[in-house]
Amino acid sequence: MTSRDRARAPFRMTPVVFHVLLSVADGDAHAYGIMKEVEVRTGGSVSVGPGSMHFTLNKLLDADMIADAPRRSGADHDSRRKYYRITPYGRDVLAAELRSLAQIVEVAREKKLIPGGS
């Protein structure tokens, strides 16, 4: 199965899964950093607790959407934390979800349900 085929495979894309993938799409991150980024990005409308975060990370690891990233060193990285990165498959799944959401937003604009429609 190619990455493209897997991107079309059924997967339950919850808001938490979606935001975790968005958080690691541009670089490695640890669980606490992901939790804080999601909270800031959503203005607090999506809040992920530690239990939910670790459950989601394990689910994404098992699904090969994220992978363990190498331990980091330096002032901006905590060596006690475990870092994660998006995999090519995870990037494909995220891109497919974003395309789907873009289509939904376009329909909503056409129906004048949100600003910016014609």
Average pLDDT (31-49) is 95
Q: Which domains does the chain have, with CATH numbers?
A: 3-110 (1.10.10.10)
* Cβ–Cβ under 8 Å, residues 82 and 31: yes
Angle at 7 between CA 94 and CA 17, to 5 degrees: 35
Q: Which residue has the higher pLDDT, 3 or 94?
A: 94
Q: Are 102 and 110 in contact (CB under 8 A)?
A: no
Q: Confirm if 96 and 103 have CB atoms less than 8 A apart.
A: no
For 57-113, the pLDDT digits (tens) are 999 999 999 999 987 666 566 667 899 999 999 999 999 999 999 999 999 999 999
Do the beta carbons of residue 105 and residue 17 sit within 8 Å?
Answer: no
Counting residues of the chain whose pLDDT is more than 90, the rounded percentage is 74
Q: Please tell me whether the overall predicted TM-score, pTM, comes out greater than 0.75 for this model.
A: yes
